[in-house]
Amino acid sequence: MKYLAEIIFGKDPVKKFHNNEPLNDFEKIINLKKYNFESRAERNAFYKGIGEAMGWLEFEVIKEFEEKITQEKEDDDKFDYWSFIEKYYPNYYHCDTVLLSDILTRKLVGEEICESDKEYIKDWNIRNRLFEVDKELLCKAFENYFNIMYPENLNS
């Protein structure tokens, strides 16, 4: 079970909420936050922590509900490797390998591709080739991500 909460922070916005006064756009951005908790214990610990850190008058939980995890939600949590590749693959928008993956994907799912592309890939095992191409793209993207997150220490 997941727990979702919407919380207003700050004495003045909390007063506005209690007086049924609307928050302006700036106050919504700064003072209104949404949180997801994986368990009731995590939610309770969070509430206790902000209560001790801020004081109970400086925030208000305005919405809270439990959410059952459905198959659709589980699908949302799956790794979207194309977003990762797009973000971390060097020169993504000018890469022939990315274009090839797009062509092979469209062919595999039955979408239309141009005649010259059909001729180019006519004798290929589309599924296997797409797997190899996407694996290569993902590996290079991960290597770039790793180098960004953990650059080589030139002093060691």
pLDDT tens figures, 14-57: 888 888 888 888 888 888 888 888 888 888 888 888 877 776 66
| Cα–Cα separations (whole angstroms), residue 56 to 14, 46, 86, 94, 147 | 11, 13, 44, 54, 44
What are the distances in angstroms from CA 96 to CA 13, 14, 82, 103, 143?
A: 53, 54, 15, 10, 19
The pLDDT score that the predictor gives to residue 107 is: 93
Can you tell me whether residue 34 is helix, strand or coil? strand
Q: How far apart are CA 51 and CA 57, in angstroms?
A: 9
In this predicted model, what pLDDT tens digit does every residue of 81-117 receive, in sequence order? 888 888 899 888 888 999 999 999 999 999 899 999 9
The answer to whether residue 69 scores a pLDDT higher than 60 is: no
Query: Which residue, among 43, 27, 25, 23, has the nearest Cα to 35 in the 3D structure?
Result: 43
Q: Is the pLDDT of residue 156 over 70?
A: no
pTM confidence score: 0.50
Q: Which residue has the higher pLDDT, 46 or 137?
A: 137
Element (H, E) at 8: strand 2-9
